[in-house]
Chain A
Amino acid sequence: MNIQIAAAAVKKSVTVEAPIERAFSAFAAMGDWWVKTHTIAASDQKDVTMEPRAGGRWYETGMNGEQCDWGKVAEWQPPHRMLLLWQISADWKFDPDLITEVEVRFTEEGKNRTRVELEHRKLEAYGAAAKAMAESFGSEGGWSGLLAAYAKAC
């Protein structure tokens, strides 16, 4: 018997002073705003691309032109919703076996005001990937690195 337990999702929301279409397209142009310290490319991040369709790729391009997959676009409903599959492990590597979901919903609150809600869920997949985590736990950017960053932030 194997009981599947769901881990609580990480939920965030932000209100932006922009029309819903602009908010959606700005979010999709992820390379314009992504905090560059979070990169898996070897040569630093040049851009982040999500192909604007269900089944599209979601990847990062490094300064040397190399592409690193982050996951997939599972659903694409502009300007209201996108569902992305985030397949980056705790040690910042693409892992095709790790599937977590990032759902982003856009709600019009006014002509120039949009509420953006982000939910990162199915985090229990990180439990299933515990093997990889345990293996990487000694690496700088790995599990211990996360814990160290967490401890520092507390």
Chain B
Amino acid sequence: MTYQNDTLAALADRTRREIFERLSAKQSSVADLARAMPISQPAVSQHLKVLREAGLVRGTPQGARVIYEIDLAGLGPLRTWLDRFWDAQLDAFKKAAETKEKDQ
């Protein structure tokens, strides 16, 4: 699945992972990130582009700057997994609750 590959590839790079971690702690602009890390603004922009395309971060224009933050839609796979997870658990719960009822 493309989405999966994109997500994993995006985070496999150490610098991108650091950008992702920094954004998870605090929203930042390209300039903020470049100041905090030993890489140039164009390099930061390039990494943000990959993260953005993987659905991990998103940018919102704020005046002349773009502020980047973690894209919570990037929680999509986890949410989908939890969705199925609770389906399976509630299914098992229903069986247990109804069996118990018959026993007593």
Contact = CB atoms under 8 A, between A and B. Distances in A.
B and A form one assembly? yes
Interface of A: 1-3, 5, 7-8, 10, 12, 14, 16-19, 22-23, 26-27, 29, 32-35, 38, 90, 112, 116, 118, 120, 123-124, 126-131, 134, 137, 143-144, 146-151, 153-154
Interface of B: 1, 3-4, 7-8, 11, 17, 20-21, 24-27, 69-70, 72, 74-75, 77-98, 100-101, 104
Given A2-B27, A12-B83, A124-B72, 8 more contacts: A8-B79, A33-B93, A124-B75, A127-B24, A127-B74, A131-B25, A148-B4, A149-B81
20 contacts: A12-B87, A16-B94, A16-B97, A17-B101, A18-B98, A22-B97, A29-B96, A33-B93, A34-B89, A35-B89, A116-B93, A124-B72, A126-B75, A131-B24, A131-B25, A134-B21, A146-B81, A149-B81, A150-B81, A151-B3
Contact of B100 (A22, A35, A38, A148): A22
B83 to A, nearest CB: 5
B8 A147 contact: yes
A144 B8 contact: yes
Contacts of B104: 22
B99 to A, nearest CB: 9
B69 to A, nearest CB: 7
Contacts of B90: 12, 14, 116, 118
A123 B79 CA distance: 8
Given A16-B97, A146-B77, A10 B83 contact: yes
Nearest to B87: A12
A34 B80 CA distance: 19
A120 B8 contact: no
A14 B79 contact: no
B92 A35 contact: yes
Contact of B72 (A12, A34, A127, A151): A127
